[in-house]
Amino acid sequence: MLQVHIRSAGYAEGEPIIHNIIFSVVSGELVALIGANGAGKSTIIKAILGLLPHMDGTVSINGGGYAYVPEQPVYYDYLTLWEHMELLAAAKMLDTGWEEDAEELLRIFRMEESKHSYIGQFSKGMKQKVMLMLAFLAKPDFYIVDEPFLGLDPTAIRDFLTLLQKERKRGVGVLLCTHVLDTAERICERFLLVSSGELLANGSLANIQQLAGMPNATLMDCFDVIVRQEQYE
């Protein structure tokens, strides 16, 4: 569904930030993109979205399009929550009945009372909920989600994960960029570990444990060992 083959990419010519990033995500798969701050995760996402001025490589997303949920919410100050949903429905030419899906998302995320409020008045967590609701409303074939857990309360995280699993059953693929490794370990079946702009590991938790030489260790412990090994080589 998603195929990425980036030989090098960056923001300035001759100054690549990421190198040799090769991976894929298939239908129904939930893959975590993990790494420390400055490791290159955001640059990889921008490369996938076609937002880098300099890239040597190819990226393809098959199917009926994708939805991107940014780490920092993006919205129009002069539109209410419901007007954002109406705008999305018009832009994506959603089928008749999208209003019922929108109302259901408002109910799931407990945002009914904020339906006609301006998003600029919302808290960080509420703004993050809006980004997630708009993504789910679009019903894409692929999701790219950047740090969705920041600002969400435990109940909202549970609701998000429940919807995400439901979407996977529909056959969508998900690339999830996160620092919350304990949650990633619990919900994801494969991990892409990035450090210093390169892909150090691509595999299941068992693969990561083997690479770290730490059977039965947590993803967080394995992550720390693998990154330290790379730094000292």
pLDDT, tens digit, 9 for 90 and up, residues 108-138? 999 999 999 999 999 999 999 999 999 999 9
Task: Tell me the average pLDDT of the chain.
Answer: 92
Closest C-alpha among 140, 81, 123 to residue 106: 81
Report angle CA 2, 6, 9 to the nearest 5 degrees: 125
Nearest to 59 by CA among 179, 176, 142: 142
Out of 3.90.550.10, 3.40.50.720, 3.40.50.2300, 3.40.50.300, the CATH code matching 2-65+140-232 is 3.40.50.300
- b/e per residue, 117-151, with b = 16+ CB within 10 A? ebbeebeeebbbbbbbbbbbbbbbbbbbbbbbbeb
Strands 18-25 and 173-177: unpaired
For 154-201, the pLDDT digits (tens) are 999 999 999 999 999 999 999 999 888 999 999 999 999 999 899 999
Q: What is the enclosing helix (H) or strand (E) of 82?
A: helix 81-92
In this structure, the chain runs to a length of 233
**Mean pLDDT score, 17-31:** 93
Asked whether residue 203 carries a pLDDT value surpassing 90, the answer given is yes
pLDDT at 62: 81
Rounded to 5°, the CA angle 9-196-18 comes to 10
Instruction: Tell me 35's DSSP state.
Output: -
Strands 2-10 and 142-146: unpaired
CA distance 144 to 124: 20
Q: Is the pLDDT of residue 231 over 70?
A: no
Q: Where are the domains of the chain?
A: 2-65+140-232, 78-138
Under DSSP, the state recorded for 95 is: P
Return the closest-CA partner of residue 53 out of 19, 11, 20, 18.
Answer: 11
The yes-or-no verdict on residue 60 having pLDDT over 80 is: yes
What local confidence, expressed as pLDDT, does residue 233 receive? 54
For residues 165, 208, 218 and 163, what is the CA-based torsion angle, rounded to 10 degrees?
Answer: -10
Which residues of the chain form beta strands (DSSP E)?
2-10, 18-25, 30-34, 54-61, 66-69, 142-146, 173-177, 190-195, 198-203
DSSP 8-state symbol, 119: G
